[in-house]
Amino acid sequence: MKDLFPKNLIARWNEALVSSVRILLATHIYPDGDAVGSLVGLGLFLRQQGFEVSMICPSPYPDFLKFLDKNGEVLFFSHDREQVIRQIAEADVIIAVDVSGFTRMEEMGDLLSASGAFKVLMDHHIDPVEGDFDLVFSTPDVSSTCELIYRVLHSWRPKATLSKEQAIAFLTGIITDTNQFANSIYPETFNVVSALNACGADMEEIFDQVFRNFTYNRMRLMGYALQNIKLLPEFKTGYIVLTRDVLDAFEYKNGDTEGFVNFPLAIQGISVSAFFIQREDHIKVSLRSKGNIAVNGIAKEFFDGGGHFNASAGKMEDKPEKIETLLREALGTIIAL
């Protein structure tokens, strides 16, 4: 397998870790499969290497990712505030995964940022906030953070064998971040998948847990979302809005709308998709596109967010009636009428 990073970075990683005892792994708010897969895969691997490891997120992961964290070891700042604060205070090394800096961790990020621990970034988003960290492993030229971490670990400990749990965690991140191998695939991705498969990560087992494990309400909410796709043909765009009353009617739980943003892209002639979901005090916006239409620029400029070329997100004020006007304005800057 090709080394993703130069040997001097691996040497610095080794140097920082061998003089440490407690390692704290942290990821972004509303953690997805790549975030939780990165935490658990790396966390269990480091524990196997003899370190004391803790794993934290600002908010809970969706129920369907629980199978990665069978013993419920990942702590949520929103629920276990005092315990997380203690873990941050005790950490010798902090590793931020699947996030480009501490800001996407909200208040927990401020605490991490203020810590005197050695700070490492492992991520695949653009524009890493290098200044927040002592050591940065970051490139957008991988499928996922899980792939990136696997390749760092392979360069560091080429002879180590991953446990089945570690391999399942990493493979889940790759499968979910690539939209089931539909995008962000690089030649080396399949070598990593092959190695994880050889360590016992079964594709069918993961698909059963992640994609064939819906509650009845979640399936019905999907039906509602599909029935209510709005089209803006002049912008080759389809969008979905889920307001609080609709979410309540389907007893929405965190994670129930995973993947919904992709639905409009399956329609002929549609190249951009937007998904709006009403949260406590704002509307979360997810954007996706096909081909050479960049959505990260409008995520940043119009929705106070950012992300990848074809997959970005952000937020807007809690006023559903303003969605279409704002969306049209944003699309007007990237798609010529």
- Binding residues for Mn ion, rule: CB under 5 A, are 34, 98, 145, 177
Q: How far is the CB of 256 from ligand 5GP (least distance, A)?
A: 14
Interactions with ligand 5GP, residue window 203-242 (CB under 6 A): none
Do residues 51 and 19 make contact, with C-beta atoms less than 8 angstroms apart?
no
311 binds, among ligand 5GP, Mn ion, none (CB under 5 to 8 A by kind): ligand 5GP
Please give the C-alpha separations between residue 231 and each of 13, 17, 239, in angstroms, as whole numbers: 49, 52, 6
Please give the C-alpha separations between residue 220 and each of 227, 242, 287, in angstroms, as whole numbers: 11, 13, 23
Q: Any contact of residue 178 with ligand 5GP (CB under 6 A)?
A: no
CB closer to ligand 5GP, 51 vs 211: 211
CB closer to ligand 5GP, 41 vs 305: 305
Q: Any contact of residue 311 with ligand 5GP (CB under 6 A)?
A: yes
Q: Which of 260, 305, 330, 331 binds ligand 5GP (CB under 6 A)?
A: 305
φ, ψ of residue 100 in degrees (nearest 5): -85, -10
Please choose, out of 110-118, 135-143, 242-250, 312-320, the segment that lies near ligand 5GP by the rule CB under 6 A. 312-320
Q: Any contact of residue 119 with ligand 5GP (CB under 6 A)?
A: no
Strand ranges, E, within 216-281: 230-232, 237-242, 272-278
Q: DSSP for 22-56?
A: EEEEE--SS--HHHHHHHHHHHHHHHHTT-EEEEE
Q: How far is the CB of 259 from ligand 5GP (least distance, A)?
A: 9
CB closer to Mn ion, 35 vs 44: 35
How far is 134 from 312, CA to CA, in rounded Å? 27
Q: Any contact of residue 151 with ligand 5GP (CB under 6 A)?
A: no
Sign of CA dihedral 85, 88, 27, 47: negative
Q: How far is the CB of 15 from ligand 5GP (least distance, A)?
A: 30
Please give the C-alpha separations between residue 304 and each of 111, 115, 155, 285, in angstroms, as whole numbers: 22, 27, 37, 10
Please choose, out of 4-12, 240-248, 302-310, 320-328, the segment that lies near ligand 5GP by the rule CB under 6 A. 302-310
Sign of CA dihedral 50, 102, 128, 313: positive
Look at residue 272 and give its three-state secondary structure.
strand
As a whole number of angstroms, the longest Cα–Cα distance in the chain is 59
Q: Any contact of residue 128 with ligand 5GP (CB under 6 A)?
A: no
Q: Which of 33, 60, 264, 314 binds ligand 5GP (CB under 6 A)?
A: 314
Q: How far is the CB of 163 from ligand 5GP (least distance, A)?
A: 27
Residues of the shown chain interacting with ligand 5GP in the complex, contacts defined by CB under 6 A: 104, 125, 261, 286, 305-308, 311-314
